[in-house]
Structure 1
Amino acid sequence: MIAILDYGSGNLRSAQRAFERSGKEVVVTSDREIALNAQGLVVPGVGAFAACMRGLVAVGGDAIVRERLAKQRPTLGICVGMQILFRDGDEHTNGLLHQGVGIWQESITKLDAPILPHMGWNTVEVSSNSNLFKGIEDQSFYFVHSYAAKKPVGIAQAWSTHNEKFLAAVEDGAIAATQFHPEKSGDAGLALIKNWVGML
């Protein structure tokens, strides 16, 4: 079973439909035990870093993610659900950083680009050791964001460019994340979801 964590942020129903196409049972839940013990946990996210983090903490999601990682139970973060897995973010902060879950010790910062948000389809440059992108290394994915991680973390990475290079995805043992929306990325996104489900 795959659990999609409901913490008040994310395209929950579209994510549910996309993950159901993998053939797995999918539930949308904020229940700690279900989220902790599911075969796979998806942490979606839309909106601002701080608001998503507040929602995550309110349902104990930060602790769930850390506990799942300690037990090597697969977790996938999507869009802002990826960003909040990092140490901190500077979105709308007036100089004060918002704390993230802290799985990766880097910051989420604003893209240095004349047009924001970065919205639409973009290609990715994938590490040769990626499992998430097997068979879809040359595909485009759908992005909607103004902030991103810009330094490598994890075991395998995918990069994209919107005036500057940024992390499009990370694979790091039991935890993985995509800055783009696989559930909105057509056949390539569904293939990525199936690749992740195949690793559970």
Structure 2
Amino acid sequence: MIIVIDYAAGNTANVLRALAKLGVEADLSGDKEKILAADGLILPGVGAYPAAMAELEKRGLVNTIKSAVAQGTPLLGICLGMQLLTETGLEHEETVGLGFIPGVCRTIPMKAGYPVPHIGWSELKIKQESPLTVGLENQSVYFVHSYFTDVSADYIDVTANYSMEVPAMIHKDRVYGVQFHPEKSGKVGLGILQKFVAFCGET
């Protein structure tokens, strides 16, 4: 069972719809026991870093998610969910994140011809392979974001060019993040979700 974590800050309906289209057994839940028993976890996110972390704390889910990851459960963060994987967020105020991947979430730098937020389809460039990157070279996916994860190149699997080289996919151990929205990225996005589900089955 894949659990999409419910904390009132995610694009959950579209994620669940995409998983259903793939025939994947999934449930939306903030129940701690279900999260700890899951084969894999998806942390979606739309909104602001501080508010999202505050909601996870309020629901007692921060320690639950950390416990699940510590026991080896794969985790996929989507958009804001990927940003929350870092140690610190600088959106509005400095906020402590989940800390799974060393780094800081920062504002995309302003540059003429590149409005922020970054909205639309961008081509992917693979930097290093992971179980989720197969077949992604030069494919395009859909982004909507104003912040990026400033992490070491060791953790960056895929980038996209905008006003900067945007980290599009990152990972450390069994924790993965995608800055774009796979649930809005057609067959390419569905393929990434399918590869994550397959990875959960293998682990």
Q: TM-score band, normalised by the shorter chain?
A: over 0.9
1:2-151 to 2 correspondences below 5 Å: 2-93=2-93, 97-114=94-111, 115-151=115-151
Structure 2 distance, partners of 1:127, 1:197, is 22
The one-letter code matched in structure 1 to 2:72 is Q
Partner SS for 2:151 = coil
Between the aligned residues of both structures, percent identity stands at: 35
5+ residue gaps, structure 2? none
Q: Give the drift of 1:111.
A: 0.5
Q: Give the drift of 1:156.
A: 5.3
Contact 2:43 2:77 in 1 (8 A): yes
How large is the RMSD of aligned CA atoms in angstroms?
1.4
Contact 1:126 1:133 in 2 (8 A): yes
Partner SS for 1:119 = strand
The one-letter code matched in structure 2 to 1:110 is T
Q: Give the drift of 1:153.
A: 5.7
Length-normalised TM-score, structure 1: 0.93
Alignment deviations for residues 166-198 of structure 1 (CA, whole Å, 9 cap, x no partner)? 211112221111011100111100011111111
Contact 2:142 2:181 in 1 (8 A): yes
Q: Size of the alignment, in residue pairs?
A: 197
Structure 2 distance, partners of 1:155, 1:131, is 13
Q: Give the drift of 1:130.
A: 2.0
Structure 2 distance, partners of 1:58, 1:190, is 32
Contact 1:151 1:166 in 2 (8 A): no
Structure 2 distance, partners of 1:125, 1:58, is 37
Alignment deviations for residues 111-157 of structure 1 (CA, whole Å, 9 cap, x no partner)? 10241100011111113422202123221111100001133365551
The one-letter code matched in structure 1 to 2:87 is R
- Say which is worse superposed, 153-162 or 179-188, in terms of deviation: 153-162
Contact 2:49 2:89 in 1 (8 A): yes
Contact 2:168 2:180 in 1 (8 A): yes
Q: Give the drift of 1:100.
A: 0.6
Structure 2 distance, partners of 1:27, 1:51, is 23
